[in-house]
């Protein structure tokens, strides 16, 4: 395996875990609970990867600021009621274990909350492989570069030795804003044509293609 990148940072939802559909369903259900117009599937998918409050305010613009706490509560209720049924994409566990075994530093930069990420890391068994992580409730939300800036500083890795991998334009824009390389995956939340509009080393279309690209290039 080539050693172009010392630090590989992954988004979580839609990149490592097959959870985009569950997030969309939870947004729809929360909107229904509050009697709000249901966003389109495309609109709900577009906000995946943002911090929860930012995501809900964009997905459901009719939501009054005073109702944000109730909307967040209903979203979490619906998402957490089924998140134990979610799984990693095929081959992802083995890929992460292999990268860690090959000496790569691994991190997560996600729109999830810290509680949500820790829950997912524990459920999937991936927690032991990641050296650090940043979540939207403890850092500026994507596409602000803070998550990547903090991770590279904490782990002592130069930005030109860092790769950000994600399934949304927010991930690729964050990579650009932080001055690190980006790799897009089109099997998550955002469609390939949207990802192609952002700067990236490549856009891979399947989890197997991601595994192969990292083997050949990272």
Catalytic residue among 13, 83, 167, 171: 13
Establish whether 13 is a catalytic residue. Answer: yes
The alpha helices in 89-201, defined as continuous H runs, are 92-101, 114-124, 146-155, 169-178, 192-196
Say which residues have a Cβ less than 8 Å from residue 171's Cβ, sequence separation at least 6. Answer: 11, 15, 49, 109, 142, 143, 164, 165, 182, 184
Catalytic residue among 11, 18, 83, 167: 11
Establish whether 11 is a catalytic residue. Answer: yes
Closest CA to 188 of 40, 9, 46, 39: 46
In whole angstroms, give the CA distance from residue 52 to residue 137. 8
Q: Which residues are catalytic?
A: 11, 13
């Amino acid at each position: 395996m080539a050693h172009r990148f010392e630090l590989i940072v992954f988004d979580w939802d839609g990149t490592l875990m097959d959870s985009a559909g569950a997030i969309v369903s939870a947004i729809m259900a929360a909107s229904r609970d509050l009697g709000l117009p249901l966003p389109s599937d495309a609109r709900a998918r577009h906000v995946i990867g943002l911090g929860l409050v930012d995501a809900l305010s964009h997905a459901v613009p009719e939501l009054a600021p005073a109702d944000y706490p109730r909307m967040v509560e209903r979203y979490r209720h619906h998402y957490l009621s089924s998140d134990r049924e979610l799984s990693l994409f095929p081959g992802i566990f083995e890929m992460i274990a292999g990268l860690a075994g090959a000496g790569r530093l691994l991190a997560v930069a996600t729109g999830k909350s810290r509680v949500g990420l820790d829950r997912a890391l524990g459920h999937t068994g991936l927690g032991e492989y990641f050296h650090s992580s940043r979540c939207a409730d403890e850092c500026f939300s994507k596409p602000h570069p803070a998550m990547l800036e903090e991770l590279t500083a904490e782990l002592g890795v130069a930005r030109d030795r860092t790769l950000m991998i994600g399934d949304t334009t927010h991930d690729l824009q964050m990579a650009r804003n932080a001055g690190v390389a980006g790799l897009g995956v089109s099997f998550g939340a955002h469609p390939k044509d949207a990802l192609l509009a952002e700067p990236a080393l490549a856009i891979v279309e399947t989890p197997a293609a991601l595994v192969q690209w990292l083997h050949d290039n990272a």
